[in-house]
Amino acid sequence: MTLIDGKATAASIRAELKVRSEEFEKKYGRKIGLAVVLVGQDPASQVYVRNKIKGCEEAGIRSFAHYLPETSSQEEVEELVSALAEDENVHGILVQLPLPRGLNADKILAKIPAAKDVDGFCAENIGKLALRERGTVACTPLGVMELLKRYHIPTAGKNAVVVGRSNIVGRPMALLLINADATVTVCHSRTENLKEECLRADILVAAIGKAKFITADMVKEGAVVIDVGMDRDENGKLCGDVDFQSVKDKASYLTPVPGGVGPMTIAMLLSNTCEAAERSMEKSL
Ligand code: GUN
């Protein structure tokens, strides 16, 4: 089994992006900027946001962190996002999800213009992905595709099974795999015969959100297994949706948690930010 090293791959991508962001600065006389909005104190979100800001530093991207209290009103958050939408130093806006209960996330995300939607969440960007047009693609599924590419794992004609149908991962993941000529099956909580569906996968993407859900009996010998999960095991230790210990003897390629897809999500966010910045300048020329 080959362990897919997302940590090392993400580090090389950040180094590539540093060159790109320096070129941008030389050409346009200003830095590429990413605004990150965190509302409330969710511990996992705090870690993600900290890592995103750290990633910006390493890639030569200027970050604007906005920490709002849990008690912020809908209007306050919407006003901040609207101001960032107007700010020409901000090329990308990321509102960390989930938002505290009581806030309407859809209405807040709707304030992000498609050109600054570096998460690729808005209808315009999802629509472009579905239509195979150039747009911004959600960071986690994009990171998975980048890992497949950099490890020379072919997708054309392969059976790809995505477990999970979320807007953030499962759906865009399925679209990307279709666009890469895989034969795609999407499974979810209502799927009958989940085990049999998974056993057909040459490429299995686990995005369920349940610790160690995918066990060796659900994996075909030699399958490529990509673990998108960020869960806690019975001892509170970070783990993925895949039972690594049993699956490692069956898979041909496997991503660990941590150090697999997670760092790639951030690398793709930085990449999307560079692209949004470059596109905005090309447009204004
Ligand atoms: N929360 C978990 N994953 C993500 C992500 O990719 N983007 C944002 N904005 N919030 C998240």
Is the distance from CB of 241 to CB of 213 less than 8 angstroms? yes
Please state the pTM of the whole predicted model.
0.97
**Atom in ligand 1 nearest the alpha carbon of residue 95:** 9
pLDDT of 205 reads 99
Residues 6+ apart with CB under 8 A from 245: none
Domains by residue range for the chain, with CATH: 29-113 (3.40.50.10860), 139-262 (3.40.50.720)
What are the residue numbers of the active site? 52, 96, 119
Predicted confidence (pLDDT) per residue in 42-76, tens digit: 999 999 999 999 999 999 999 999 999 999 999 99
pLDDT of 284 reads 75
Protein residue whose Cα sits closest to atom 4 of ligand 1: 97
Q: Is the CB of 140 under 6 A from ligand 1?
A: yes
Predicted confidence (pLDDT) per residue in 92-116, tens digit: 999 999 999 999 999 999 999 999 9
pLDDT of 285 reads 67
Q: Is the CB of 139 under 6 A from ligand 1?
A: yes
Q: Is the CB of 117 under 6 A from ligand 1?
A: no
pLDDT of 263 reads 98
Which regions of the chain are under pLDDT 50? none
